[in-house]
Chain A
Amino acid sequence: EAGVTQSPTHLIKTRGQQVTLRCSPISGHTSVYWYQQALGLGLQFLLWYDEGEERNRGNFPPRFSGRQFPNYSSELNVNALELEDSALYLCASSRFWYEQYFGPGTRLTVT
């Protein structure tokens, strides 16, 4: 069974630019979660999508947004990038809310 995949693996952007990260869940999983893992801060919950709808979002500004497509894949968009957005962005999928499977992440560097 293929795991959660994310693209791209690494990304370098400059401040003020916009970025789109992509995630493909495990087949059969309808929920996708996005997390930010900044150095020294652990994982911060960003967004939860289920069946194409946003179900919950963490304490992040509106410039962090996303969507889930009919095939359950998902995009995370970050507008007006700031230096502190530099982090590893992790996507996870699940069939049940209590058991998530994580992808390897996208490393975003903002200069």
Chain B
Amino acid sequence: GNSVTQMEGPVTLSEEAFLTINCTYTATGYPSLFWYVQYPGEGLQLLLKATKADDKGSNKGFEATYRKETTSFHLEKGSVQVSDSAVYFCALSLTSGGSYIPTFGRGTSLIVHP
């Protein structure tokens, strides 16, 4: 079956540090890949996406590259801010015969200290 594996958290960083959150996947077929962010008390928000191999998704200083050869979609940001503290979810989705099949990772909590 399909699965998404994220690094366990929490990830604790100081402001302006470099961030990497690892995400690897297994899927039958060619999935689209996503990163969602969940701020405290809120629903998930789409952060970025990539729909084919070698695509780079980017938004708000975050970026991730779809690496088919390593089945990975690691999230990076060059300089984190306190306001980036949230839970980050890696996800994949496939369509099969018009049916949407989503799979989410367990989420990685990021805590950024001033």
A-side residues, CB < 8 A to B, are 3-4, 33, 35, 40-45, 48, 55-56, 90, 92, 97-105
Contacts and interface: CB of A to CB of B under 8 A. Distances in A.
B51 interface: yes
A56 B100 contact: yes
A48 B99 CA distance: 9
Contact of A45 (B49, B51, B103, B105): B103
13 contacts: A33-B102, A35-B104, A41-B106, A43-B89, A45-B102, A45-B103, A45-B104, A55-B99, A90-B44, A97-B95, A100-B44, A102-B36, A105-B43
Chain A CB within 10 Å, residue with most, of B44, B51, B98: B44
Interface in B90-114: 91, 93, 95, 98-107
A43 B102 CA distance: 10
Given A43-B104, A56-B99, A90-B43, 9 more contacts: A4-B43, A42-B107, A45-B102, A48-B99, A48-B100, A56-B100, A56-B101, A97-B93, A102-B36
A104 B38 CA distance: 10
Contacts of A105: 43
B44 A98 contact: no
Nearest to B4: A42
B89 A102 contact: no
B45 interface: yes
Interface string B67-103: 0000000000000000000000101010100111111
B66 to A, nearest CB: 13
Contact of A104 (B41, B49, B104, B105): B41
Contacts of B100: 33, 48, 55-56, 97
